[in-house]
């Protein structure tokens, strides 16, 4: 028997839920959440009122639900918290990205002829770290050095190991005391501003190439983009972006003939090298200026090319559901360093978090809110963003899904059919909690076929012996 079922708390919870009134309705709610691991509990009511007569046509209240609450999806994008809801977010992101490359969801198919690049912007080096390198299908030594120098802390800056994909050392500094933790954290915090300046420099350079002002460029050309942030194992973010050239009305119009992929690549290279963000001088520390790293990957996207719209959309969507988990940190806010005691964190992640709190105490860096974003190692931007005209929106995709589900419920008679033009819907909801008990998680897993008990939670439950 699995360890969580041997647990007396889980067994008691299973018995209580199975024998509670309204179990069938509770099970229907669990199925309705699609396997959400941490469903939100709502308490309230909805009334349908005839706008002309004031007559109450239909009333729904959670007082008749099991436990007096309605359980709905948490809708998180983080796969580490809820794989089921994160999968919906990933699928929506895939559709959003692909629509901007192949058309659909309100984007014309002619967008496939617009120049588009897949660009990866990286962070600079903050110190040598263990890495996995491959060449010709072979794994190369990490950091081989014949005459490796010894750092001031007595460590030889060399590593001849051929690391595996899941080795814990990947991303760890060869010398933690030499690693620039402050710059790593500050780069994460300033990466959104660095991206903003990059997009501005991109437009300026394209205008300059053709002797246009910014206003004149906007009358001929629109730069559309969608991007996602990804954490490298060393704990810094880099951005994967789709950058596309459109006519003045967005994807509905073609860009000028001179706006081709080569010109766009030239502008991307210029903007990457040109932008920077200065950091306020810190007491006793050298002045810092944040820039993009030297590694810049630019590849054209083509329906029938080496890099297709499906491949790009799938790649970006995969990282839209992840955060800093690969670094070995936590996925929830940290209020103080004492919160980390007892957690199995990599030492590298622990030091990055500690650096966030150290820098947060400096008045010059208050606006970066590093303590609030210590669990994200300083990064406080949106993981997935797009320009207004790139394609559809996540909100539109969710609304379409809600409309489809409502139509399905109405057609099967589960919801009353009202004329929306003459019926007023009055709703009142309040938050009443979230999640499932240990026993409920076991039952929900059997109902939905999804694993509900993370291994780390199982291992911390009291033993039945």
341 secondary structure, DSSP code: T
Segment (H or E) for 434 = strand 423-434
Q: Could you report the per-residue pLDDT of 284-293, keeping only the tens digit for each?
A: 888 899 999 9
Q: How confident is the model at residue 313 (pLDDT cuts 50, 70, 90)?
A: very high
**Residue 386: both structure tokens together:** 């797009």
Residues 167-181 pLDDT 10s: 888 999 999 999 999
229 vs 191: CA distance, rounded Å = 10
Q: What is the pLDDT of residues 208-260, one digit of tens each?
A: 998 999 999 999 999 999 999 999 999 999 999 999 999 999 999 999 999 99
Q: What is the pLDDT of residues 39-68, one digit of tens each?
A: 999 999 999 898 888 888 889 999 999 999
Question: What is the number of residues in the chain?
Answer: 465
Residue 444 · residue 35 · CB < 8 Å: yes
Measured distance CA(193)–CA(292) in Å, rounded: 12
**pLDDT value at residue 454:** 47
Q: How far apart are CA 437 and CA 67, in angstroms?
A: 13
d(CA 132, CA 234): 12
**pLDDT score of 6:** 62
pTM above 0.75?
A: yes
Residue 386 CB contacts under 8 Å (≥ 6 apart), including other chains: 96, 100, 224, 225, 226, 227
pLDDT the model gives residue 463: 30
Cβ-contact 221, 245 below 8 angstroms: yes
> Closest Cα partner for 33 from 457, 432, 447, 455?
447
Task: Give domain limits for the chain.
Answer: 3-78+395-460, 83-126+180-392
């Amino acid at each position: 028997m699995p360890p969580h079922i041997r647990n007396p708390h889980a067994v008691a919870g299973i018995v209580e839920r199975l024998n509670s009134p309204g179990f069938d309705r509770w099970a229907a709610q669990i199925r309705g959440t699609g396997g959400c691991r941490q469903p939100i509990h709502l308490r309230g009511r909805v009334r349908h009122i005839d706008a002309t007569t004031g007559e109450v046509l239909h009333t729904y209240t959670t007082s008749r639900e099991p436990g007096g609450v309605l359980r709905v999806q948490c809708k998180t994008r983080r796969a580490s918290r809820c794989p089921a809801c994160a999968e919906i977010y990933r699928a929506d992101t895939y559709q959003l990205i692909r629509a901007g490359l192949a058309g659909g969801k309100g984007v014309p198919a002619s967008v496939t002829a617009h120049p588009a690049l897949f660009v990866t912007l990286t962070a600079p080096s903050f110190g040598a770290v263990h890495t996995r390198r491959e060449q010709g299908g072979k794994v190369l030594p990490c950091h081989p050095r014949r005459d490796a120098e010894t750092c001031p802390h007595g460590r030889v800056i060399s590593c001849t190991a051929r690391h595996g994909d899941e080795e814990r050392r990947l991303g760890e500094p060869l010398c933690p005391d030499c690693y620039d933790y402050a710059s790593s954290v500050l780069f994460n915090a300033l990466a959104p501003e660095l991206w903003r300046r990059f997009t501005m420099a991109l437009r300026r350079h394209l205008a300059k190439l053709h002797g246009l002002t910014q206003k004149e460029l906007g009358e001929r050309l629109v730069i559309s983009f969608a991007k996602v942030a990804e954490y490298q194992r060393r704990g810094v973010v880099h951005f994967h972006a789709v950058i596309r050239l459109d006519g003045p009305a967005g994807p509905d119009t073609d860009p000028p003939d001179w706006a081709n992929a080569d010109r766009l690549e030239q502008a991307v290279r210029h903007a990457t090298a040109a932008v920077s963000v200065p950091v306020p001088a810190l007491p006793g520390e050298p002045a810092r200026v944040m820039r993009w790293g030297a590694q810049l990957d630019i590849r054209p996207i083509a329906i029938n090319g080496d890099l297709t719209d499906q491949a790009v959309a799938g790649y970006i969507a995969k990282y839209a559901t992840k955060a800093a988990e690969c670094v070995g940190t936590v996925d929830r806010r940290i209020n103080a360093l004492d919160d980390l005691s007892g957690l199995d964190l990599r030492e590298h992640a622990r030091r990055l978090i500690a650096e966030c709190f150290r820098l947060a105490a400096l008045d010059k860096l208050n606006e970066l809110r590093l303590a609030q974003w210590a669990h994200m190692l300083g990064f406080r931007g949106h993981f997935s963003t797009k320009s207004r005209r790139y394609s559809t929106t996540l909100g539109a995709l969710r609304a379409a899904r809600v409309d489809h589900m409502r139509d399905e419920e109405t057609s099967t008679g589960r919801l009353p059919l009202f004329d929306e033009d003459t019926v007023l819907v009055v709703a009142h909801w309040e938050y009443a909690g979230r999640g499932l008990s240990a026993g409920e998680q076991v039952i929900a897993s059997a109902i939905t076929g999804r694993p509900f008990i993370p291994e780390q939670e199982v291992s911390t439950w009291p033993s039945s012996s």
